[in-house]
Amino acid sequence: MRIIQVACLSALLAFGCSTSEVSSKRALTPNWKPLLEGSTISVDVNHPYHPHEMKLSNGMLLRSSDWDGYFKTFVLGLPVDMRDIVLDGLTRYYFEYDKVDRLIKFEPLRYMSEPYSDASYVSAQGSIEGRHAMALLKVKYYGSDWIFANRIKVVADGFTWESPALQFKRDHTTMVWEYAFLDLAEPLIRSVVDSITKSQVTIVRFRGDQYYYDLNVTQRMKNDLAALLNALDAIRSDSK
């Protein structure tokens, strides 16, 4: 079998091997190239779906239509020392350009393989207009039973904080989801999120009058939040 595979790769046309077989073979050996000159973030040019889908060295995927359409121009407009910070932060989220309002919108990743699909989570969503950025912390419960949550409690190592009453939105199909937003522009909320991202163990309790649910915040969620906040801070600092 191994001899046949080698022959197939070395004589594609002669032996009638498909390009998909060659692509799958190539994909086993990543070939990393800098996304931008001088960047520490690289792209795997041997990724099976390259260049339409670009696999980055931070583990994220970047659509080439977004990169070539507007995002590359936006990143190149930033100071050199901020570009990788913004790239790392925003590529951890689903983002798109709103041509009417002329701003970049971002939200938790939609991909089925990601931890934000059909799951409870702590994340963020917001928008970037020029060098002005706004973001909201999004806390979402997803499960089989209604909680009728009206507040959250955060326990992050030795730090504890309980929110005031929150306006949760609710919906259901075969499953239930309840979610609320907190403004990251408020210093208190930002300090709570900083505690979440820096702690070893973080639990967010979705609390209703009778029921509750405890979310163990994963390291991936912490890393994504921290990277996004660093990116937004960099963008805002460039506007001063």
Q: Please count the structural domains in the chain.
A: 3
What's the whole-number average pLDDT of the chain? 88
Domain that holds residue 145: 103-240
Q: How far apart are CA 152 and CA 193, in angstroms?
A: 13
Do residue 134 and residue 231 come from a single domain? Answer: yes
Is the CA virtual torsion 60, 64, 68, 71 positive or negative? Answer: negative
Do 80 and 165 have their domain in common? no
Query: Cα–Cα distance between 131 and 239 in angstroms, integer?
Result: 5
pLDDT digits (tens, 9 = 90+) for 82-108: 999 999 999 999 999 999 999 999 999
Whether residue 39 is found in the same domain as residue 3: no
Q: Pick the range with the lowest mean pLDDT from 21-30, 65-74, 141-150.
A: 21-30
For residue 67, tell me if it sits in a domain: yes
Mean pLDDT of 2-6: 38
In a domain, 199, yes or no: yes
* Predicted local confidence at residue 2, as pLDDT: 39
Evaluate whether residue 98 is within a structural domain.
no
66 within some domain: yes
41-52 pLDDT tens trace: 999 999 999 999
126 and 84 in a single domain? The answer is no
Cα 151 to Cα 57, 116, 129, 210, distances in angstroms: 37, 20, 31, 12
The pLDDT, as a whole number, for residue 28 is: 65
Same domain, 157 and 229: yes
Model pLDDT for residues 59-79, shown as the tens digit of each residue = 999 999 999 999 999 999 999
* Contact assessment for residue 30 and residue 44, using Cβ atoms and an 8 Å cutoff: yes
SS3 assignment for the chain: CHHHHHHHHHCHHHHCCCHHHHHHHHHCCCCEEECCCCCCCEEECCCCCCCCEEEECCCCEEEHHHHHHHHHHHHHCCCHHHHHHHHHHHCCCEEEEECCCCEEEEECCCCCCCCCCCCCEEEEEEEEECCEEEEEEEEEEEECCCCCCCEEEEEECCEEEECCCCCCEEEECCCEEEEEEEECCCHHHHHHHHHHHHCCCEEEEEECCCCEEEEECCHHHHHHHHHHHHHHHHHHHCCC
Same-domain pairing of 158 and 206: yes
The reported pLDDT for the residue numbered 15 is 36
- Give 172-210 pLDDT, tens digit per residue: 989 999 999 999 999 999 999 999 999 999 999 999 999
- Residue 96 included in any domain: no
Task: For helices 219-237 and 187-198, give the axis angle rounded to 10 degrees.
Answer: 140
On whether both 84 and 132 belong to a single domain, the answer is no
The pLDDT of residue 13 is above 50 = no
pLDDT digits (tens, 9 = 90+) for 109-119: 988 777 899 99
Q: For position 108, what pLDDT does the model report?
A: 95
User: Do 14 and 54 have their domain in common?
Assistant: no
Please tell me whether residues 35 and 125 are part of one structural domain.
Answer: no
Q: Does 53 fall in a domain?
A: yes
Per-residue pLDDT of 214-238, as tens digits, reads 999 999 999 999 999 999 999 988 7
Q: Do 238 and 131 fall within a single domain?
A: yes
Distance CA 86, CA 81 (A): 10
Instruction: Count Cβ atoms below 10 Å from residue 200 Cβ, excluding itself.
Output: 8
